Amino acid sequence: MASQSFKITVIGAGVSGLTTALVLSQNPKYRITVVAKFMPGDYDAEYASPWAGANFWPMGAAGSTQAELEKSTWSELSKLAKEYPESGISFQKAFIHTRVEDVGRVGSLFCQSDKNLPWWSDLFHDFKSLDQSELTSGIHSTYEFTTVCINTAIYLPWLLSQCIKNGVIFKRAVVKHIADAASLHASQKPADLVVNCTGLMARNLGGVEDKTVVPARGQVVVVRNDPGIMATISNTSSKNDEMAYMMSRPGGGGTILGGCYQVGNWNAFPDPDLAESIKKGCLALYPELTQGKGVEELSVIRHGVGFRPLRPQGVRIETERVKGTLVVHNYGHGGWGYQSSYGSAAAVDLLVEREVKLNAKL
């Protein structure tokens, strides 16, 4: 058996690395080691995954690779919410408001034109665009549908334990050069292939050094108040790249109030002025959050900052040979790493399978 196995080292234990390891581990012939600087339970701005809300709000433009990855991830996440609620994923009603002045000027989560519904409306059985008579002043359209919300503090450890169940071994390491990861395989023999799921830090990883990956800074306020829904509103007029949104993490995870999308901003500390503005923005969006009693009634659990690993030209999922080491990349998921996680992992799985065949390894 050992001679027939294919050894894989995955670098990274964010949602990309964990989901990829889990999907690959379904093939009993793969022996997988995950090495990472940060693991579930750690908090650092450069480790994006714990900071995400997280939910499934499709953002890829119609027909894009991102849209395809999101579409194929939806079936997996909704299955987890239905059949494995212990994963920390549950269904929640969402309201997406597009202001009159923002139509067609913001991403495809929001209204692009009067004529068409978004490509993703078909994914949700109860999607509806509210009737004109139901819209509040200044709002061009409101989409209402049921999607999933993920408590990342439950889901990341759940992914990790599912991997362990399938025989994946986890090790802490800071990898300097991507080719070095091959020698970190738990078998103590060089890995046949390395999967690169380093997110933002693909910028600094030797042999990759992809400086096109930049932080899209997100700041959040986590509160005890429970709106019972998810909501967001378009905002093209913000000076601070702010956009109000809220979602309640299942399993008592509190409500995430956001946020911002500050490209190139490396400030890892919460900005108190921005935190106040986030609170006000969320209450303007949904005053019921404090039963109309104002900002003072928000009960804050913590403030946080995470860097979304933004690669403006899109995610990098491809094969490369670096210093003789076979590498499959899977990084640069920006603000949509959860909602594209299974689609991306399946794409990696196909590339790995192709290499296994090409190298006649199994």
State the Cα–Cα distance between residues 141 and 176, nearest whole angstrom.
49
Nearest by Cα to 235 from 274, 285, 270 = 285
Report, in Å, the least distance between residue 331 CB and ligand FAD.
6
State the Cα–Cα distance between residues 207 and 216, nearest whole angstrom.
23
Q: What is the DSSP annotation of 104-160?
A: TTS-TTS---SS---GGGGG-TT-EEPPGGGPPTTEEEEEEEEEEEE-HHHHHHHHH
Terminal Cα-to-Cα distance of the chain (whole angstroms): 10
Whether residue 245 is annotated as binding a ligand: the answer is: yes
State the Cα–Cα distance between residues 175 and 228, nearest whole angstrom.
42
For CA atoms 124, 155, 110, 106, the dihedral sign is negative
State the Cα–Cα distance between residues 356 and 141, nearest whole angstrom.
49
Cβ proximity to ligand FAD, 48 vs 139, nearer residue: 48
Report, in Å, the least distance between residue 9 CB and ligand FAD.
10
Report, in Å, the least distance between residue 190 CB and ligand FAD.
17
State the Cα–Cα distance between residues 216 and 265, nearest whole angstrom.
7
Q: Determine what percent of the chain falls in helix, strand and coil, rounding each to the nearest 5.
A: 30, 30, 40
Report, in Å, the least distance between residue 107 CB and ligand FAD.
13
Say if residues 77 and 64 touch (Cβ distance below 8 Å): no
Tokens of 256: 């995430």
Report, in Å, the least distance between residue 218 CB and ligand FAD.
3
Task: Give, in order, the Cα–Cα distances in Å from 213 to each of 106, 134, 217, 240, 341.
Answer: 21, 41, 12, 21, 18
Report, in Å, the least distance between residue 261 CB and ligand FAD.
9
Whether residue 198 is annotated as binding a ligand: the answer is: yes
Cβ proximity to ligand FAD, 140 vs 349, nearer residue: 349
State the Cα–Cα distance between residues 356 and 45, nearest whole angstrom.
36
Whether residue 302 is annotated as binding a ligand: the answer is: no
Cβ proximity to ligand FAD, 73 vs 140, nearer residue: 73
Cβ proximity to ligand FAD, 140 vs 232, nearer residue: 232
State the Cα–Cα distance between residues 254 and 282, nearest whole angstrom.
15
Cβ proximity to ligand FAD, 254 vs 258, nearer residue: 258
Cβ proximity to ligand FAD, 200 vs 356, nearer residue: 200
Whether residue 321 is annotated as binding a ligand: the answer is: no
Report, in Å, the least distance between residue 308 CB and ligand FAD.
5
Residues at the interface with ligand FAD (CB under 6 A): 11-17, 35-38, 47-49, 51-55, 173-175, 197-201, 205, 218, 220, 258-259, 306, 308-309, 331, 333-339
Q: Helix, strand, or coil here: 230? A: strand
Instruction: Name every residue whose Cβ is closer than 8 Å to that of residue 237 and which is 6 or more positions away in sequence.
Output: 101
Cβ proximity to ligand FAD, 30 vs 74, nearer residue: 74
Cβ proximity to ligand FAD, 142 vs 344, nearer residue: 344
Report, in Å, the least distance between residue 10 CB and ligand FAD.
9
Residues contributing to the annotated binding site for D-dopa = 245, 308, 335
Residues contributing to the annotated binding site = 198, 245, 308, 335
Residues contributing to the annotated binding site for FAD = 198
